[in-house]
């Protein structure tokens, strides 16, 4: 199976930590965020991975290399101009069209059984399934409203307070079929949360996978600093490193 890890963001709100490295290269309990995501993909049976890069790309390339440390084959898609979370898929259409694939936001950490997510996705026959985590304040996240079968009935990126009663947010892992690529514009940057996922909702072809484990995001310097004393994250990191 194949995957793309989104690692191109500049991370301006994480400065000074991102002055000399991209967001996915920030260390969390002894290793970069991207290492946990590559290990998650390998454990779930993925073998080919594209990492898209933009800000300080050599830092990612030098660390990840060809991916053999994780038992993966890794190649890179360098974006001179940022293409957005959906536009990033266009340069690697040849890889992703081969079958079921995963999109992983490279600056998040998830305590997630990705193999189970893939299994559930395939059992539903859906076009895409997004990992969801329950968060109290959803105003800085993409939020999914669900029916009783976990079909997403509405997806709202960064809703206003009171705009939705759902607390299930996009955890930054999506499993999809190649037909998803037909929804991505070829001539401009585009965004998964603002454009592609709502388009799939309109077709009734997006499902959610409710996570039971932890989810950690690093949007701001304060998020990263708080993570250094998060006992649950420390426990997860210890297990992930083996």
Domains and CATH numbers, the chain: 2-241 (3.90.550.10)
Per-residue pLDDT band at 20 (split at 50, 70, 90): confident
Per-residue pLDDT band at 242 (split at 50, 70, 90): low
Contact at 8 Å (CB) between 193 and 206? no
Structure tokens that stand for 235 in this block: 């426990």
Per-residue pLDDT band at 41 (split at 50, 70, 90): very high
- C-alpha atoms less than 13 angstroms from C-alpha of 26 in its C-beta half-sphere: 28
Contact at 8 Å (CB) between 108 and 218? yes
- Distance in angstroms (rounded) separating the CA atoms of residues 85 and 104: 10
Q: What confidence tens digit (pLDDT) does each residue in 168-191 have?
A: 999 999 999 999 999 999 999 999
Chain mean position to CA 49: 13
Average pLDDT over residues 6-17: 82
Does residue 167 register a pLDDT over 90? yes
Q: What confidence tens digit (pLDDT) does each residue in 58-116 have?
A: 999 999 999 999 999 999 999 999 999 999 999 999 999 999 999 999 989 999 999 99
* Residues 6+ away with beta carbon under 8 Å from 223: 217
Average pLDDT over residues 129-136: 95
Does this model's pTM top 0.75?
yes
Contact at 8 Å (CB) between 5 and 51? yes
Does residue 21 register a pLDDT over 90? no
């Amino acid at each position: 199976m194949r995957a793309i890890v989104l690692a191109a963001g500049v991370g301006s709100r994480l400065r000074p930590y991102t002055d000399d490295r991209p967001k996915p290269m920030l260390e969390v309990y002894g290793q970069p965020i991207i290492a946990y995501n590559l290990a998650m993909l390998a454990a779930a049976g993925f073998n080919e991975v594209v990492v898209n890069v933009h800000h300080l790309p050599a830092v990612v390339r030098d660390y990840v290399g060809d991916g053999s440390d994780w038992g993966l084959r890794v190649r890179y898609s360098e974006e001179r101009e940022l293409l957005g979370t959906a536009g990033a898929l266009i340069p690697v259409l040849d890889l992703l069209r081969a079958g079921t694939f995963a999109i992983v936001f490279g600056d998040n950490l998830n305590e997630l059984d990705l193999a189970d997510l893939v299994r559930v996705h395939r059992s539903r026959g859906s076009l895409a399934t997004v990992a969801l985590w329950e968060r109290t304040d959803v105003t800085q996240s993409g939020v999914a409203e669900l029916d009783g079968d976990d079909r997403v009935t509405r997806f709202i990126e960064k809703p206003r307070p009171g705009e939705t009663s759902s607390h299930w947010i996009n955890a930054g892992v999506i499993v999809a079929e190649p037909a998803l690529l037909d929804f991505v514009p070829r001539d401009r940057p585009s965004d998964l949360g603002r454009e592609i996922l709502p388009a799939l909702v309109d077709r009734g072809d997006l499902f959610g996978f409710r996570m039971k484990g932890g989810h950690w995001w690093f949007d701001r310097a304060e998020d990263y600093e708080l993570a250094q004393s998060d006992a649950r994250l420390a426990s997860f990191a210890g297990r992930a490193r083996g």
